[in-house]
Amino acid sequence: MTEQTIDHPVAQPVTDASDGTPVRILTHPGASVPLAFTQAELDWLPWLEPADEATLSERQFEGLVDRSRAKSDYFRLLVRDPDILRARTLTDKDIFYNAKDGLPRAERELAAAATSRFNGCIFCASVHARFATHHSKRHDDVQRLLDEGIDGEQDAAWRAVIDAAVALAATPSRLESRHLDALRAAGYDEQAVSDVIHSAAFFNWANRLMLSLGEPENPPGE
């Protein structure tokens, strides 16, 4: 019998896409990681070392789009690949801030929060649940989504947004014509229906990015 040799993949070092330098892996022993969904503001701990704000290049600042984001560990980690970050940020802004027509901002944030709740991303859910509350003034309904999950009681319009967002986020996707029909029946026009899909689709991807690069942390003293 001939012995078969199996080649195992060798882990490649992580490098900065902007200059090829190695990136240090970080650990956070003893971190206070939240175990429940919340609308409270959370910190975030990266598992790879963010770029040093003091040495960011002009190309990296262009990737950030908003220079103020250089204060964020998350964006300073993503800016290690500035071209992809720029494309990501411009897409994010167009989906969530270009709300003059189509779906109201509150429902865009609701779709993001529901997707994050379904995918188990506590940090993303906290951010977009706060935005949903701010723009809708419906704190209790948003909190019910976090506490009871995607099947918690909601009115027909929010039920349609949540169901469509979650169906799209499932693997494989379960989004069907009945979800779009429910959105239309709730009074959303075709542009608004498209906005639900874009909001959910973006966060179905963004959750996976954040979940693979770090973990949420309760602020000091909580």
pLDDT tens digits for range 187-218: 999 999 999 999 999 999 999 999 999 999 99
pLDDT tens digits for range 3-49: 444 454 444 567 877 778 888 999 999 999 999 999 999 999 999 99
Sign of the dihedral through C-alpha 98, 100, 107, 66: positive
Supply the DSSP symbol for 33.
-
pLDDT band at 61, cuts 50/70/90?
very high
pLDDT tops 60 at residue 86 = yes
List, in order, residues 6 or more apart from 200 with CB less than 8 Å away: 111, 112, 114, 115, 164, 165, 166, 168, 169
Q: Peptide bond before 172: cis, by omega within 30 degrees of 0?
A: yes
Residue identified by tokens 């950030």 is: 64
pLDDT tops 50 at residue 75 = yes
pLDDT tens digits for range 135-165: 999 999 999 999 999 999 999 999 999 999 9
**CA-to-CA distance for 110 and 155, rounded, in angstroms?**
13
Do 108 and 135 touch, CB atoms closer than 8 A?
no
| Percent residues over pLDDT 90 in the chain | 86
Residue identified by tokens 């992580």 is: 14
pLDDT score for 12: 59
Lowest mean pLDDT among 96-100, 126-130, 153-157, 175-179: 96-100
**CA-to-CA distance for 34 and 122, rounded, in angstroms?**
8
Strand stretches in the chain, DSSP E: 43-46, 214-217
Which domains, ranges and CATH numbers included, belong to the chain? 103-211 (1.20.1290.10)
Estimate the crossing angle of helix 105-119 against helix 190-213, to 10 degrees.
Answer: 40
Mean pLDDT of 94-113: 94
pLDDT score for 215: 97
Question: Mean of the per-residue pLDDT values for the chain?
Answer: 93
pLDDT score for 21: 82
pLDDT score for 222: 63
pLDDT tops 90 at residue 55 = yes
CA distances from 130 to 68, 118, 138, 167, 181 (A): 21, 17, 10, 22, 28
How many CB atoms are closer than 10 A to CB 78?
A: 24
How many CB atoms are closer than 10 A to CB 143?
A: 16
pLDDT score for 8: 46
